[in-house]
A = this chain, B = another copy of it.
Amino acid sequence: MMRQSSEKEPLTVWVVEDNASFRENIAELVRQTPGLQFEHAFSSCEDTLEELTSSPFPDIMLMDIGLPGINGIEGVRRVKAISPETLVIMLTVFDENDMIFRAICAGASGYLLKSESTDRIISSLQEVLNGGAPMNAQIARKVVDMFSHLAAPRGDYGLTSREREILQSLVDGLSKKQIADKLFLSFHTIDMHMRGIYSKLQVHSRSGAVAKALKENLL
Using an 8 Å CB-CB cutoff, how does the interface string of A197-219 with B read, 1 for contact, 0 for none? 00000011111111100110000
Q: Quick check: is A162 within 8 A (CB to CB) of the other chain?
A: no
CB distance from A165 to the nearest CB of B (A): 16
**Nearest B-chain residue to A150, judged by Cβ:** B150
Among the stretches A20-28, A43-51, A135-143, A182-190, the one at the interface with B is: A135-143
Q: Which residues of B contact A203 (CB under 8 A)?
A: 173
Tell me which of B137, B205, B207, B209 contacts A133 (CB under 8 A). Answer: B137
Q: Which residues of B contact A209 (CB under 8 A)?
A: 207
Q: Quick check: is A93 within 8 A (CB to CB) of the other chain?
A: no
Report Cα–Cα, A144/B143, bound state, in Å: 8
Report Cα–Cα, A204/B172, bound state, in Å: 11
Q: Quick check: is A6 within 8 A (CB to CB) of the other chain?
A: no
- Contacts A144-B143, A148-B105 given: A172-B211 contact, CB under 8 Å? yes
- Contacts A203-B173, A210-B207 given: A137-B147 contact, CB under 8 Å? no
Report Cα–Cα, A108/B151, bound state, in Å: 13
Report Cα–Cα, A146/B140, bound state, in Å: 14
Report Cα–Cα, A141/B89, bound state, in Å: 12
- Contacts A132-B141, A141-B132, A147-B104 given: A171-B211 contact, CB under 8 Å? yes
- Contacts A132-B138, A137-B131, A203-B173 given: A143-B148 contact, CB under 8 Å? no
Q: Which 5 pairs from chain A and chain B are nearest by CB?
A: A132-B137, A173-B208, A105-B151, A133-B140, A214-B214
